[in-house]
Amino acid sequence: MKLSLFHTPELTPTTSQPACAIVIDVLRATTTIASALQAGAEAVQAFSDLEKLMAISEQWPGEKRLRAGERGGQKVEGYDLGNSPLDCTPECVGGKRLFVSTTNGTRALQRVEMAPTVLTAALVNRQRVVNYLQSVQPETVWMVGSGWEGSFSLEDTVCAGAIAHQLSQVTQRPLMELAANDEVVAAVALFQQWHDRLVDLLHHASHGQRLLRLGNTADLEFCAQLDVLTVLPMQRERGVL
């Protein structure tokens, strides 16, 4: 197994696909996806385009669907939900399909949707993703950060580092043997520096600051938790987890 990290969808190669792609958007899309599925949502269907989301979700029974939309950190007007993992309670999402569009996370998902296996990861379900990798041992694994509108993000990088670090521990394989690019080694160094202060790192991150300005302190605290959810979001058909 060889692990690569690409910090943004734009930096992710387009000429090949890995055996397994892992999309990461700690703040907040992949934390919300994990929370929704853990709370019993029937599925999460992701769209980069709001019009397409509306058209497809219209064909789904009204009582079994929720539309979740975020742009610029805020809920899209007229949608049932924004992108807060804290809204994903069993009472709210249980048995429902979430039709979701977010600024960066759903674009990252779209970028790798043709890979044979597509997972989403966040700090909250890191161990479950590591367990999967340890048992299946895909030959090539790409971790794809969502970043923010094409630029690097600390929170996605630290999550990639948390995955690589734990995988190296549980498989007893040296990091330098697992890592297929320098980004993985740097991400592990970031995780080792901040592993006991993840919430502080999220507060320093530029998107963390944007969310704090919008009043989402509780979301940051939730998203900074390591290994608190046991769900493995896996694409079962194109765009559907």
> Measured from the CB atom, is 24 or 179 closer to ligand 3SL?
24
Q: Which of residues 124-183 bind ligand 3SL (CB under 6 A)?
A: 146
The two tokens of residue 105 are 């996370």
List 1, 29, 164, 224, residue binding ligand 3SL (CB under 6 A): 29
> Which of 142, 141, 144 shows the shortest CA–CA distance to 152?
144
What sign for the dihedral angle of Cα 186, 104, 97, 63? Answer: positive
> Which of 111, 150, 137 shows the shortest CA–CA distance to 7?
150
> What are the residues whose beta carbons fall under 8 Å from the beta carbon of 239, sequence distance 6 or more?
45, 46, 47, 109, 110, 113
Measured distance CA(208)–CA(186) in Å, rounded: 20
> Which of 154, 186, 184 shows the shortest CA–CA distance to 4?
184
List 27, 36, 76, 190, residue binding ligand 3SL (CB under 6 A): 27
List 8, 104, 153, 166, residue binding ligand 3SL (CB under 6 A): 104
> Measured from the CB atom, is 18 or 73 closer to ligand 3SL?
73
Q: Which stretch binds ligand 3SL (CB under 6 A): 58-66, 101-109, 117-125, 163-171?
A: 101-109
List 9, 18, 69, 73, residue binding ligand 3SL (CB under 6 A): 73
Q: Does 105 bind ligand 3SL (CB under 6 A)?
A: yes
Q: Does 87 bind ligand 3SL (CB under 6 A)?
A: no
Measured distance CA(51)–CA(216) in Å, rounded: 27
Positions that interact with ligand 3SL (CB under 6 A): 25, 27-29, 70, 73, 83, 102-105, 146, 211
